[in-house]
Structure 1
Amino acid sequence: MAAAGLSYALLVQGSPYSRQPAHSALRFAEALPDQGHRLACVFFYHDGVYNAAAMMSPPPDEPHLLMRWRALHDAQQCELLVCVASALRRGLLDDGEAQRHGFEHASLASPFELTGLGQLIEAAQRHDRLITFGP
C-alpha cells in the first residue's frame, strides 16, 4: 500500500511580477497533486498580498498570475489567505473593509480571503509542511 501524500501550506512573501517567489510558489503548488500531495492553503504576506489584487492586468505575453491562483484554488480546493494588516497597508480591501474605510469598491480578488497571522500559525501546526517563498 502506498503512503499517503503530505499536506502542504505555502507562505508567499513576494509580489507577483517584481521577482520570482510568487511564480515559483505557483509552479510548486501546481506540481503537488502529480506527486501525490495536497495543497491545503496559501498564505500571502508582506508584498505577497499583491497576488490578490483584483485589478491586476498583465500584458498578454506574460503569465496572468491572478488567474493561475484562481485556477489553483478551483483545482485543489485550497484556501487563499491574505494577511489583513499587510493588505490594508497596500490598499487591498475586501467588501467589508472597503465599506468600513469609506471606499466604494473592494480591491481584493475573489476567492482570496483577508485573515490574521493566527491563520498562518494554525497552518504551520495543522499541515505536514509549510514552505516559504520569499524575496
Structure 2
Amino acid sequence: MSQYVLSLHSDVSNHDALQQLLRFTQALQAQDHQVACIFLYQQAVLFASQHFSLASDELQPTQLWQSLHDAGIALKLCVTAAEKHGLDTTQCGPFEVAGLAEFAMLATKADKWVQFK
C-alpha cells in the first residue's frame, strides 16, 4: 500500500482535470492505497469557494469535496493563492488552509505526488 498526495492546479472551467482527479482517487482507494491529502493550488483554489455554483446537470464540486472529506481524505487549500483570488479563508467548507511549506512536508512523506493540471 502506497501513500499519495494529490494536487489540483487547474481553473474551475477545466472539469476534465477535476474528473481525472476524482477517478484517480477512487482507483487508489479501490486498491487500498492511501490518499494523504488533496491540495488545491493556483487557480484551483476557486473550487473551494462557497459561492461556486453550477447548473444541476453539471459536475458538483462542492458535493465531490464533501464526499472525499467524508472518506477521510484531508483537503488542503493554499492560503496564499486563496487570498490572492479573494476567497474568505475562514469559510472554506471541508478545506483546511495550508501553506506551501506544509504541503511540501506532506509531499516528502508520501510515496508519490501526482499533479492534475
TM-score, normalised with respect to structure 1: 0.80
Aligned counterpart, 2:76: 81
| Identity in percent | 32
Is contact 1:14-1:20 (8 Å) kept?
Answer: no
Q: Which consecutive segments of 4 or more residues in structure 1 shift more than 6 A?
A: none
Instruction: Please state whether the residue corresponding to 1:17 is helix, strand or coil.
Output: coil
RMSD of aligned C-alpha atoms? 1.3
**Which structure's CA Rg is the greater one?**
1
Q: Choose the corresponding residue for 2:43, options 41, 44, 47.
A: 47
**How many equivalent pairs are there?**
117
Task: Decide whether the 8 Å contact of 1:22 with 1:51 is kept in 2.
Answer: no
After superposition, the C-alpha distances for 1:84-132 in whole angstroms (9 at most, x for unaligned) are 111001111222xxxxxxxxxx4x3x11111100122112111111001
Does structure 1 residue 23 correspond to structure 2 residue 19? yes
Contact kept in structure 1, 2:77 and 2:98, CA below 8 Å: yes
* 1:20 partner amino acid: D
**Gaps in structure 1 of 5+ consecutive residues:** 96-105
Instruction: Report 1 or 2 for greater relative contact order, CA contacts < 8 Å, sequence distance ≥ 6.
Output: 2
Query: Among 96, 119, 132, which residue is 2:102 paired with?
Result: 119
Worse-superposed segment, 16-25 or 43-52: 16-25
Gaps of 5+ in 2: none
- Aligned with 1:90 (options 85, 91, 96): 85
